[in-house]
Chains A and B, each alone.
Chain A
């Protein structure tokens, strides 16, 4: 059955994993293998080569943004060019949220990177195609969280 992403990985040039989202159930061992293989293949690519690779039965689409590689595995039916747009959109969302995002933002606020991802993709498919809608939902959710925290940390008199 075609048409979804199997996983999304973010890793640095030095091979440090910054985010891993899995859209199919895999054992820990299988996940580690995928991560190793992806890093090996992608980090070995010379500059100015195309962003698509073949690995096992999956198409791999990757793109480098500053010091981070965004790498995803697709099933056979998927549109690689659109996937490049998907990766780009995610970067835009991160950028909007953090304001000029850099790798450190994603390291120190990794849970937020996941929250942002979860407003954009679900089950390996795109959930929301509008940038504004995603940003809006995140803001509202954050407000809800803060409100609770503020409430909880207010002195009880």
Chain B
């Protein structure tokens, strides 16, 4: 086709402009000329003019004044003008423009033009920018064209129908019969269009999907033909016969076979054949294999076929081509929950991909590696992950750090290992960890009581090395304050002993206090730690006194407040200082992680296991008891996740320094107000009452008291409790499970609730016990807990 000389001259002129300003000048002149030409009624170069305008538009300059010209050109009888006119419409008009409605009539006429190329222009434009209204208007025309004898038109009509269905869902019904008959076409273009149309119809309507399931054998037959056919020059791509069509058929089969045994069975052999026979040396073959794998994994396939599919992904992981490794990992990520064991087999390769220089591949490898951590591989996986953390790109560090923490929390083989791992992360990537790491770690350290000495020594040494990583410094300060006595004693069996004297420790804390690298929060930690040491050291208490008094005039309000209060503790309340600063109790955490792939119930700490109840199988795992209990909560609509599945820190963590202040705040108290008690259950001899005490804005202590009003003993008395989803619950151990006759001794059990969202507090309590050989179980719901001061 001969080039458009006027167009090319203009392009040359624009390109020879040396500056942006010059270019703008050229464009302005050209646009003025184009405008003038548009105004002329009948001229030869109309299509060239519009083409020029479209070029200018592509450079980013405004071209709305060309919209009407497009409308005019489309209506012209000349093919060359129609062609550029429709192109202009696709570029300048979209369904949001009013002018687009004006071309509806032209399109309608052109759809039944004698020349297939004119028809094609109309179809193409409708499929590109047709609004819902235009689509509704012209749908019957399209349906007619779907039944034409001309393959060229049929294939275009099919994709036009796809666009119409996307715009106006209900019109799917109209096209279904024609789509069905197109499946018997031989022409690949038409067949491809038909498959795309059927896919679209099935995705949008379950009834249509049901009907098209009958076409599975036909699709399988077509696919077999493609796979087994010899070389066809027209459709061959790198040894695969029409991979585009194969992939679309596979995708349609996936939709039809999903959740349907019969359909899945019918395609099983074909999928196995494609999976084993497709040449995987080039991208085309791998594209088909990839789609096959996706299909196998999404339908109800035989286990053998599934294993085959996962193995293909495993082979992909070893492929030299990065693209293939990338998509393999994306797919494995999707199935790591359901086919965990199969994916585990490829763990080694996945972990190797952590070292891939490509950032996209690294990211996928990280996500997948974290998903594959389990109790059996935790040690080796952690080694790899920590290695990764020290060399990974910055944008992945936060994700890697949190993933490592989560994995460590769930699968630590020992507390010391856990603490070491966290310390390692803090020293390597301390700046990228999330905020809640600090209280979580502190809570963890308090529970590992045998390791306090070891931990404080390690942290102290880390602190001496580097005070720039804030989370590390905060944890270190807290530990030094809390366990300073252990630090100074010097002997610790797990670590080489180093003599630490009081002045060194105070020096370290003062360095943190004074450093410009320390954040205000960190300095708060350091000050409180210094204060705590006043009861743990013997010689340098005066030094502490002076540090604290200096900060009494600090500019930072928080520090100043603390310092003033600590001063007060030294002066007026010195008799209380030892008690106030003594060792903290172990903080209970009320969450557990979920285990990876292992489903046998892990005992959830807080809920007491239910003893055997008459009629229930004795081996029922406690975890399912928890779920059962939560299902009782009709108000939370979704199937219960354990109320304690968030890994957030427990009830009482404001910063530990804050706890101290709360204690001081509580020193000048009014006498305790009487706590309201309400009866909750009175049946079969058991009297259960409930009382609450407000601990803070969001936390509450509920005490359940049970007594026996019959004259026979009650045994195996247990309570379970469930609360709304957003509330965290922690049940302490009951005082006993034996209720002697006549209420001589009561059983109490404390439940601690944390209600951060301040939802209405309801509680469902399940009472179980045995009395005179008969087992009882009952449930009672408390709709609102009594308000308490």
The chain A residues found within 8 Å of chain B, CB to CB, are: 1-3, 17-20, 23, 25-27, 32, 48-54, 77, 79-82, 84-86, 89, 107-112, 114-115, 118, 122-123, 125-133, 137, 140-142, 144-146, 148-149, 152-153
Contact = CB atoms under 8 A, between A and B. Distances in A.
Contact of A142 (B1, B192, B243, B325): B1
B326 A110 contact: no
Q: Which of B129, B163, B323, B324 has the most CB of A within 10 A?
A: B323
Q: Which of A2, A17, A133, A153 has the most CB of B within 10 A?
A: A133
Given A49-B360, A53-B360, A129-B188, A85 B237 contact: yes
Interface string B41-68: 0001000000100110011100000000
B11 A108 contact: yes
B358 interface: yes
A85 B323 contact: no
B323 A50 contact: yes
A36 B473 CA distance: 42
Nearest to A132: B234
B163 A85 contact: no
B87 A127 contact: no
Nearest to A150: B2
A123 B520 CA distance: 57
Given A129-B244, A148-B78, A84 B283 contact: yes
A1 B166 CA distance: 9
Nearest to A17: B58
11 contacts: A79-B290, A81-B286, A108-B8, A123-B159, A125-B196, A126-B192, A126-B248, A133-B234, A137-B152, A145-B79, A148-B80
Given A108-B3, A123-B127, A128-B189, A152 B44 contact: yes
A112 B1 contact: yes
Interface string B291-305: 100100000000000
Given A50-B358, A112-B1, A145-B1, A25 B96 contact: yes
Given A1-B200, A152-B44, A146 B2 contact: yes
A-B pairs with the 3 shortest C-beta distances? Answer: A81-B287, A142-B1, A50-B322
B238 to A, nearest CB: 9
A144 B79 contact: yes
B87 A114 contact: yes
Contacts of B284: 85
A92 B55 CA distance: 23
Interface of B: 1-4, 7-8, 11, 15, 44, 51, 54-55, 58-60, 78-80, 83-84, 87, 94-96, 115, 117, 123-124, 127-129, 152, 155-156, 159-160, 162-163, 166, 188-189, 192-193, 196, 199-200, 203-204, 233-235, 237, 242-245, 247-248, 251, 283-284, 286-287, 290-291, 294, 322-327, 357-361
A52 B327 contact: yes
Contact of B189 (A112, A127, A153): A127
A58 B137 CA distance: 32
Contacts of A115: 83, 87
Contacts of B237: 85, 89
Nearest to A35: B60
Given A51-B323, A122-B124, A132-B234, A25 B244 contact: no
B124 A118 contact: yes
A133 B189 contact: yes
Contacts of B11: 107-108
B679 to A, nearest CB: 54
B107 to A, nearest CB: 15
A127 B58 contact: no
B291 A110 contact: no
Contacts of B59: 17
Contacts of B2: 146, 149
A81 B322 CA distance: 11
A137 B151 CA distance: 12
Contacts of A114: 87
Contacts of B248: 126
B204 to A, nearest CB: 7
B244 A82 contact: yes
A51 B287 CA distance: 14
Contact of A85 (B83, B155, B287, B357): B287
Nearest to A138: B1
B239 to A, nearest CB: 13
Nearest to A50: B322
Contact of A149 (B80, B94, B95, B242): B80
Contact of A84 (B160, B291, B323): B323
A128 B242 CA distance: 10
A55 to B, nearest CB: 12
Given A145-B80, A145-B83, A146-B1, A80 B327 contact: yes
Contact of A127 (B51, B156, B324, B327): B156
B159 A125 contact: yes
A25 B162 contact: no
B157 to A, nearest CB: 10
A112 to B, nearest CB: 7
A82 B243 contact: yes
Contacts of B51: 111
Given A3-B199, A81-B327, A149-B80, A49 B287 contact: no
Nearest to B290: A81
Contacts of B79: 144-145, 148
Contacts of B286: 81
A79 B287 contact: yes
Contacts of B251: 3, 77, 79
A122 B251 CA distance: 19
A117 B688 CA distance: 78
B247 to A, nearest CB: 5
B283 A85 contact: yes
B326 A50 contact: yes
B203 A1 contact: yes
Nearest to B167: A25
Given A85-B284, A133-B189, A152-B78, A144 B245 contact: no
Nearest to A18: B58
A123 B160 contact: yes
Contacts of B189: 127-130, 133
Given A130-B234, A145-B83, A81 B360 contact: no
Nearest to B238: A85
B44 A153 contact: yes
A119 B1 CA distance: 16
Contacts of A17: 58-60
A25 B93 CA distance: 10
Given A27-B96, A108-B8, A148-B78, A80 B323 contact: yes
B324 A122 contact: no
A123 B193 contact: no
Given A82-B243, A115-B83, A152-B44, A127 B193 contact: yes
Contacts of B360: 49-50, 52-54
Given A109-B3, A110-B58, A122-B128, 5 more contacts: A52-B323, A54-B360, A81-B286, A81-B290, A82-B287
B87 A111 contact: yes
Contacts of A27: 96
Given A81-B290, A109-B3, A146-B1, A130 B188 contact: yes
A86 B8 CA distance: 29
A129 B327 contact: no
Nearest to B326: A50
B154 to A, nearest CB: 11
Contacts of A20: 58
A25 B159 contact: no
A126 B244 contact: yes
B477 to A, nearest CB: 40
